[in-house]
Amino acid sequence: MHLHLPKKENISCVAIAFMMFVSTNIYSQSSQKTTDTIQADQIIFSIVENGPFYQGGNIELTDFLNSQFIGNCEGKKTYFQCTVLKDSSISDVLYFNKETECDDQIIELLKKTNGNWIAASIKGRAVACIALMTVTYVGNNRVKVEIGAGKAKQPPRK
């Protein structure tokens, strides 16, 4: 019985072709997974040229919240954030430090401001960015709001 073994060069070519096939499949699966989970439109920036803001600024947002807020949590301060998207909508409204029972109501009122924001921008292009807000409860169903972006209004460390 005589055994015919393939030449060394043929084995190398087959091995290289197999490795290319496997790596191409792995790459295509991983790149598809990346495209499914993170699209260019979904990047959220933390450093921007012009931060996001509420149409009309702090005064208008404060007026809106005061027109619907019912509660007396005087003397407390809570830090909130939301993501202002490129289309002026907001998502992921939450607080950093729950100080009072009033904070949940402020979350619900902030969600009602969806679409009334101006997106952040970099080189004149709208981008998604985190908006940070400080809400101070001043008493008698009243609050005061300050809006910042990125590192502008980080909550103090305890």
What confidence score (pLDDT) does residue 102 get?
A: 92
Q: Which amino acid is residue 42, in one-letter code?
A: Q
In the predicted model, is pLDDT for residue 156 greater than 80?
A: no
Nearest to 41, CA basis, from 131, 149, 128, 120: 128
Q: For 66-107, how does the pLDDT look when each residue is reduced to its tens digit (9 = 90+)? A: 999 998 889 899 999 999 999 999 999 999 888 888 999 999
- Residue 49 falls in which region: left (phi positive, over 0), alpha (psi -120 to 50) or beta: alpha
Query: Which residues are within 8 A (CB) of 13 and not within 5 positions of it... i.e. 6 or more apart?
Result: none
Mean pLDDT, the chain, whole residue set: 77
What confidence score (pLDDT) does residue 138 get?
A: 94
Task: Report whether 113 contacts 54 (CB < 8 A).
Answer: yes
What confidence score (pLDDT) does residue 83 get?
A: 94
Q: For 33-62, how does the pLDDT look when each residue is reduced to its tens digit (9 = 90+)? A: 433 444 556 789 888 999 999 999 999 999
Q: Containing H/E element for 63?
A: helix 57-68
Q: For 14-33, how does the pLDDT look when each residue is reduced to its tens digit (9 = 90+)? A: 444 444 443 444 444 444 44
In the predicted model, is pLDDT for residue 12 greater than 90?
A: no
Task: Report whether 92 contacts 52 (CB < 8 A).
Answer: no
Joined together, the tokens standing for residue 39 give 């699209």
What confidence score (pLDDT) does residue 2 get?
A: 55
Count the neighbouring beta carbons within 10 Å of the beta carbon of residue 21: 10
CA angle, residues 64, 138, 153, in degrees to nearest 5? 75
What confidence score (pLDDT) does residue 139 get?
A: 87
Report the Cα 55 to chain-centroid distance in Å: 19
| Integer Cα distance of 158 and 146 in angstroms | 20
| Integer Cα distance of 141 and 158 in angstroms | 27
